[in-house]
Structure 1
Amino acid sequence: MLDIAGTELAAEEREMLAHPLVGGVILFARNYQSPAQLEVLTAAIHAVRSPPLLIAVDHEGGRVQRFIAGFTRLPPMRALGRLYDREPALAVNLTGAIGVVLAAELRERGVDFSFAPVLDIDFGSSSVIGDRAFHATAAGVAALAGGLVAGLARMGMGAVGKHFPGHGYVQADSHHEVPIDERPLAAIEKDDLAPYRALIGKGLAGVMPAHVIYPEVDERPAGFSPVWLKDILRGRMGFEGIVFSDDLSMEGASVAGEIVERGRAALSAGCDMVLVCNSREAAQHLLDGLGSYALDAGRAARMSTGAVDDAAYRAAAARVDEAKGAGLLA
Structure 2
Amino acid sequence: MQQSEKEPPAFSERSQVIESPVPTFSRVDELLEDMTLAEKVGQLLVVGMEGKTYGDELDRLIRQHHVGGIILLGKNVSYPAGILKLLNESKKANADYEIPLFISVDEEGGRVSRLPSSMKKLPAAEYFGRTGDEALAYETGAYLAELLHAFGYNMNYAPVLDVHSNPKNPVIGDRSLSSDSHAVADLGMAMMKGMTDNGVISVVKHFPGHGDTHVDSHLSLPVIEKTLDELYKTELIPFQRAIDEQADVIMVAHIMFPELDNRYPSSLSQKIITGLLRDEMQFGGVVITDDMTMGAIVNDYTVPEAAVQSFLAGSDLLLIAGDYENQVGTINALMTAVQAGKISEDRIDESVKRILKLKERYKLKDAPIEEIELDLIERKFNELLG
Identify whether the pair has TM-score above 0.5, normalized to the shorter chain.
yes
CA RMSD of aligned residues (A): 2.4
**In 2, Cα distance between the equivalents of 1:304 and 1:233?**
26
Instruction: Return the match for 1:30 from 36, 61, 75.
Output: 75
Distance 1:285 1:316, change over 3 A: closer
**In 2, Cα distance between the equivalents of 1:233 and 1:172?**
23
Partner of 2:15: none
Whether 1:117 aligns to 2:159 is: yes
Which string of whole-angstrom CA distances, capped at 9 and with x for unpartnered residues, describes residues 65-124 of structure 1?
Answer: 01134644111000111112xxxxxx2111111111111111122111111111000012
Aligned residue identity for 2:83: L
**In 2, Cα distance between the equivalents of 1:111 and 1:71?**
16
Bigger Cα displacement from structure 2, 47-56 vs 219-228: 47-56
Instruction: Return the match for 2:315 from 268, 271, 283.
Output: 271
Distance 1:322 1:299, change over 3 A: closer
User: What SS is found at the alignment partner of 2:158?
Assistant: coil
Bigger Cα displacement from structure 2, 8-17 vs 294-303: 294-303
Bigger Cα displacement from structure 2, 232-241 vs 178-187: 232-241
Aligned residue identity for 1:82: R
Partner of 1:202: 245
Distance 1:10 1:319, change over 3 A: closer
Q: CA deviation at 1:7?
A: 2.8
**Superposition pairs for residues 1-330 of structure 1, below 5 Å?**
1-20=46-65, 22-49=67-94, 50=97, 51-69=99-117, 71-84=119-132, 91-123=133-165, 124-219=167-262, 220-254=264-298, 257-291=301-335, 293=348, 295-296=352-353, 297-302=356-361, 321-322=382-383, 324-325=385-386
Bigger Cα displacement from structure 2, 118-127 vs 252-261: 252-261
Q: CA deviation at 1:276?
A: 1.4
Distance 1:40 1:316, change over 3 A: closer
**Is the Cα contact below 8 Å between 1:6 and 1:30 reproduced in 2?**
yes
Which string of whole-angstrom CA distances, capped at 9 and with x for unpartnered residues, describes residues 3-50 of structure 1?
Answer: 122332113320122243621111013323233332232222123332
**Is the Cα contact below 8 Å between 1:149 and 1:203 reproduced in 2?**
no
**Is the Cα contact below 8 Å between 1:158 and 1:203 reproduced in 2?**
no
TM-score, normalised with respect to structure 2:
0.75
**In 2, Cα distance between the equivalents of 1:304 and 1:250?**
32
Partner of 1:87: none
Distance 1:149 1:203, change over 3 A: farther
**Is the Cα contact below 8 Å between 1:158 and 1:304 reproduced in 2?**
no
**In 1, Cα distance between the equivalents of 2:147 and 2:156?**
11
Q: CA deviation at 1:280?
A: 2.3
Bigger Cα displacement from structure 2, 177-186 vs 272-281: 272-281
Greater RCO (Cα-Cα under 8 Å, separation 6 or more) = 2
Partner of 1:328: none
**In 1, Cα distance between the equivalents of 2:89 and 2:244?**
33
**In 1, Cα distance between the equivalents of 2:126 and 2:276?**
28
Aligned residue identity for 1:57: V
**In 2, Cα distance between the equivalents of 1:136 and 1:112?**
30
**Is the Cα contact below 8 Å between 1:153 and 1:203 reproduced in 2?**
no
Consecutive unaligned residues of structure 1, counting only runs of 5 or more, are 85-90, 307-313, 326-330
**In 2, Cα distance between the equivalents of 1:255 and 1:217?**
21
**Is the Cα contact below 8 Å between 1:61 and 1:77 reproduced in 2?**
yes
Consecutive unaligned residues of structure 2, counting only runs of 5 or more, are 1-45, 339-347, 366-374
User: What SS is found at the alignment partner of 1:272?
Assistant: coil
**In 2, Cα distance between the equivalents of 1:252 and 1:303?**
32
Aligned-residue sequence identity (percent) comes to: 29
**In 2, Cα distance between the equivalents of 1:162 and 1:131?**
14
Aligned residue identity for 1:176: L
Aligned residue identity for 1:158: I
TM-score, normalised with respect to structure 1:
0.87
